Amino acid sequence: MKRPIGVMILAILAGVAGVVQLYRMLVFLGILKFDFVGRAISFQEAQWGPALWALILAAIWFWVAWGFWNVRASAWQFGVFISLFALIWGFFALLFGSTVEAETVPWLLAGGVYIYLNWPGVREAFMASEMSRLTPEQRAALEQLEAANAAAGKGGAPGMKPPA
């Protein structure tokens, strides 16, 4: 299977997002500090809640990067979910005490991944890769399922007139 260049870029972006989350975890634990445009962000005491969330997000981003690299359809689905989650999480973090400086890099990475995953044709590349991994028996079962769904769709909903 030939890996498209865009998928490699996605995998690299997701890996970088995981590394950024690990870095944020170290900032929340007070081990490192973060300087952005001359403004230092550091903690005197460990912030265990945000550090744990950053670690969980890092693990998810690394798993998604592995899935992107292997062009797995599950990675496409979860990549959309986690990138949207990271965007929303960053927004709420701003509302509850974080800074724009601390959220800018995760937002840019998550936003870039989300936009590219929803670009026309990207989902189809992931689905084609997944379909190429099916055995002949699995393909036959999938075709039977599609035929059964099409037949069920022609009948209409129970209690309703069938479409003309």
Torsion of CA 112, 113, 117, 122, to 10 degrees: 90
Q: Has residue 96 got a pLDDT over 90?
A: no
CA distances from 149 to 85, 128, 134, 157 (A): 32, 21, 20, 13
For the chain, give the mean pLDDT: 86
Q: What is the pLDDT of residues 23-77, one digit of tens each?
A: 989 988 988 877 666 777 777 888 898 899 999 999 999 999 999 999 998 999 9
Q: What is the pLDDT of residues 136-162, one digit of tens each?
A: 999 999 999 999 988 887 876 677 776
- Quick one: pLDDT at residue 44? 81
